[in-house]
Chain A
Amino acid sequence: MGSYLGKRLLHFAWIMLAVSFLTFLLSYLSPGDAAMKKLNAQGIAVSEEVLEKTRENMGLNRPFIVQYGDWALHALRFDLGTSYKDGFSVSEKLVKGLKNTAMLTMSAILLALLISLPLAVLCALKKDSWMDHLIRLLSFIGNSLPNFLISVLLIYYLCVKAKLLPVVANQSLRGLILPCMALAIPICSRFIRQIRAELLEQLSKPYVTGARARGVKGRYVLWNVLHNASISILTIVGLSIGMLLGGSVVIETIFRWPGLGKLAMDAITNRDYPVIQGFVLFTSAIYVVVNLITDVSYRLIDPRLREREDK
């Protein structure tokens, strides 16, 4: 386990180095001059003299690798520079956005699990029944819907037609309902498919046949099956974080939810490069860390995997 953890951490360090480099490269290669963009974002009239001075202040005259090194060292201390637009610290903006995005994504995961787990169990227990087919068809449809489409359709049918909810979401619980649903539906469809497959695999194992032959009641068997499937379900949830982070950009923009995604889209509109850079680095770090935790906890919970590793 120790050597495994060491290997993973080394890999993690490499990945974060590579991610930071690519992220930096992203805005370095972007068309146009950074000093010009900063002045434009702040609405300052550009003259040759001002431009030269800004360039000097921003350190743009240094070689590329020095600029990257400087930026990476600051990023390591979670100092991601200041916004071109309003001069506020990027990391502060990100942390503020993260709180709202976390609230949205967590409730979406919760909602998705609440819906998909019972349905997946139903599908697995009544395999090939009409209910199984119906639920799988619905999950197939849900998986084919882009989340911006779900949002627009939800707004149209629930807000405009049925007048159940306000169109513009505020931070209240009522405001959370629509973005949460829009984010949860594709995830939910994915969960149903994956959890169903996992449960079916567990149900085909000898311990289930054995327990049933001994006359163990159905719900005890189910309990055992769920218990054994829990690690895989944990992984399935962990792996959905990438989809959630990408999806939240779209959803937050549509519903004006002040999270990381909306921050990023606003930054893109304003050509506010430090914020875009910070957003990409920050979300990728979250993504990589969640994957790492999922992977490590998988091994912590399941001793068989550890043994295989040691051999």
Chain B
Amino acid sequence: MKKKHSSVSHVRIRLWIFLILAGLLVLLSLLASLLCPNDPYATSSAVMNHAPSAQFPMGTDRYGRCICSRVLMGARTSIFSAMALVASTFVIGTLLGILAGWFGGVVDTIIMRVADAFLAFPQMVLAIAVAGILGGGMFNAMLAMGITGWTLYARLARAEVLSLKKEPYVQAAKLTGCSSCSIMFNTLLPNMFGPLIVNATTQIGVMMIGIAGLSFLGIGVTEPQAEWGSMINLSRSYIQLAPWAVLAPAGATIVTVMIFNYLGDCVRDYLDVEVTE
């Protein structure tokens, strides 16, 4: 059992701070195209590997593209792909988990055995193989990460449904003649949101790292689209000449993943639920 380290108000303040920080990041990525000091895709042989200056706040890469603009545009790619991925795996996984838990029997066996099969692969190994075989691209990378991602929510939702099933109010809903569909979505779903939301929030950072890793390997988001992982991969062989081309996207990745991970911790502390690792 986890003990609370700090008082409730303290936890709430922390939650708000990180919600605002994460909100700012999302806002920043939404407004990225307006904030870019230069065209993130414009190449120029005149300004290759230039150090940070007034015109290029974070320098340029080996094609003469503005790093700062690319980092900003990369924020959009990273944050939105991670959030869309978490949202879709969350919906699919939760739906399957509720179905398995509520109907039991054959439905449960089929869904959960399939989940077991996907859990037998180390997540990144399967993701690398799937993304590698399908070839690059953001959608394929998301598919590769999501193929195992849904199992987490399915297992959680199923466990929640199984414990909620015995609650008097669920029994009452059943006796008053509510349809299965209505019970699942109107009665059960709102009562199991806590643990699901906490796990979803902690998964944002994990998915971000995963997609960046695939892009770094060249089988995720590919050039010329701006993405932090692929930017780091492209510039790492020139690190002696232009360290800023690596350090800027690296810094952006670290800060963003940390903010979302910390947000996950705060949500967990606030709702006081355990996280499955």
Judged by a CB distance under 8 angstroms, whether A115 is at the interface is no
Decide if B129 touches A276 in the complex (CB within 8 Å): yes
B117:A242 contact, CB within 8 angstroms: no
Judge if A69 is at the interface, Cβ distance under 8 Å. Answer: no
Q: Contact check, B116 vs A148: say whether CB atoms are below 8 A apart.
A: no
Flag if A280 contacts B229 (CB, 8 Å): no
A19 surroundings in chain B (CB, below 8 A): 117, 120-121
The answer to whether B122 and A287 have CB atoms under 8 Å apart is yes
Q: Which of B94-102, B161-169, B186-194, B209-217 contacts A (4 or more CB under 8 A)?
A: B209-217
Q: Which residues of A contact B10 (CB under 8 A)?
A: none
Given A156-B239, A160-B239, A280-B125: A14 in contact with B113 (beta carbons within 8 A): yes
Cβ-defined contact, B125 with A246, below 8 A: yes
Stretch at the interface among B14-22, B35-43, B152-160, B250-258: B250-258
A194 to B239, CA, bound (A): 35
Q: Does A140 contact B (CB under 8 A)?
A: yes
Q: Are B253 and A149 in contact, with the CB atoms below 8 A? A: yes
Which of A26-34, A53-61, A224-232 lines the interface with chain B? A26-34
Which residues of chain B come closer than 8 Å to A190, judged between CB atoms? Answer: 277
Among A87-95, A172-180, A247-255, the stretch in contact with B: A247-255
Mark interface residues in B237-277 (1 if CB within 8 Å of A CB, else 0).
00110010011001001100110011000000000000001
| A128-B5, A149-B254, A152-B250 as given contacts; A280 in contact with B212, CB under 8 Å | no
Nearest residue, chain A, Cβ from B246: A152
Q: Which of B24-32, B51-59, B65-73, B132-140 binds A?
A: B132-140
Residues of B within 8 A of A284 (CB): 120-122, 125-126
Q: Is the CB of A287 within 8 A of B121?
A: yes
Q: Is the CB–CB distance between A250 and B129 below 8 Å?
A: no
State the main secondary structure of chain A at its contact with B: helix
Contacts of B247 in A (CB 8 A): 156
* Shortest Cβ distance from B208 into A: residue: A146
B47 contacts partner chain A, Cβ-Cβ < 8 Å: no
Task: Verify B116–A144 contact, CB threshold 8 A.
Answer: no
B113 touches A18 (CB 8 A): yes
Given contacts A246-B123, A246-B124, A283-B125, is CB(A22)–CB(B236) below 8 Å?
Answer: no
- Which chain B residue shows the least CB distance to A253? B217
Residues of A110-168 at the interface with B, using a CB-CB cut-off of 8 Å, are 128, 140-141, 143-149, 152-153, 155-156, 160
Known: A243-B122, A253-B217, A284-B122. A264 touches B250 (CB 8 A): no
Chain A residues numbered 270-303 whose CB sits less than 8 Å from any CB in chain B: 273, 276, 279-280, 283-284, 287-288
CA distance A155 to B238 in the complex (A): 12
Q: Does A75 touch B at the CB level, under 8 Å?
A: no
Asked if B205 is at the interface (CB within 8 A of a chain A CB), the reply is yes
Beta-carbon contact of A18 and B254 below 8 Å: no
User: A250 and B216 in contact (CB under 8 A), knowing A155-B239, A245-B125, A284-B121?
Assistant: yes
Residues 7-31 of A, flagged 1 when their CB comes within 8 A of B and 0 if not, give 0000100111011001000110011
B183 at interface (Cβ–Cβ under 8 A)? no
- State how many angstroms separate the Cβ of B100 from the closest Cβ of chain A: 17
- The yes or no answer to A106 lying at the interface (CB within 8 A) is no
B137 to chain A, nearest CB (A): 12
Residues of A within 8 A of B2 (CB): 197
Question: Is there an interface contact between A280 and B124, defined as CB atoms closer than 8 Å?
Answer: no
The answer to whether the Cβ of B221 comes within 8 Å of any Cβ in the partner chain is no
B232 close to A (CB within 8 Å): yes
Is there contact, CB below 8 Å, between A152 and B116?
A: no
Indicate if A234 sits at the interface (CB-CB under 8 A). Answer: no
Residue in chain A with minimal CB distance to B215: A148
Are B239 and A26 neighbours in the complex by a CB distance under 8 Å? no
> B128 interface residue, CB < 8 Å from A?
yes
B86 sits at the interface (CB 8 A): no
Residues in A with CB closer than 8 Å to B240 are: 160
Q: Are A149 and B250 in contact (CB-based, < 8 A)?
A: yes
Provide the bound-state CA to CA distance between A144 and B118, in Å: 25
Q: Is the CB of B130 within 8 A of A26?
A: yes
Is B212 touching A146 in the complex (CB atoms < 8 A)?
Answer: yes
Taking the complex as formed, is A265 at the interface, i.e. its CB lies under 8 A from any CB of chain B? yes
A148 contacts B229, C-beta separation under 8 Å: yes
Q: Is B75 an interface residue (CB 8 A)?
A: no
Using Cβ atoms and an 8 Å threshold, which residues of chain A touch B243? 156, 160
Q: How far does the alpha carbon of A30 sit from the alpha carbon of B131 in the complex, in Å?
A: 10
**A268 interface residue per 8 A CB criterion:** yes
Interface contact B123-A276, CB-CB below 8 Å: no
Q: Is the Cβ of A146 less than 8 Å from the Cβ of B209?
A: yes
With CB as the reference atom, state the residue of chain B lying closest to A151. B236
Contacts A144-B257, A148-B229 given; does A268 touch B213 at CB 8 Å: no
Tell which of A148, A264, A288 touches B129, judged by Cβ atoms closer than 8 Å: A264
Q: Assess whether B120 is in contact with A246, with CB atoms less than 8 Å apart.
A: no
Give Cα A283–Cα B277 distance, bound, in whole angstroms. Answer: 20
Which of A15, A197, A246, A279 touches B116 (beta carbons < 8 Å)? A15
Q: Across the interface, do A242 and B122 meet the contact criterion of CB distance under 8 Å?
A: yes
State the 7 A-B residue pairs at the shortest beta-carbon distance, nearest first. A246-B124, A18-B117, A268-B132, A242-B122, A146-B209, A144-B258, A144-B257
7 contacts between A and B (CB under 8 A): A15-B120, A16-B120, A144-B209, A156-B246, A279-B129, A280-B129, A287-B122
Given contacts A27-B133, A250-B216, A283-B122, 5 further A-B contacts (CB under 8 A): A144-B254, A148-B212, A149-B250, A243-B124, A280-B121
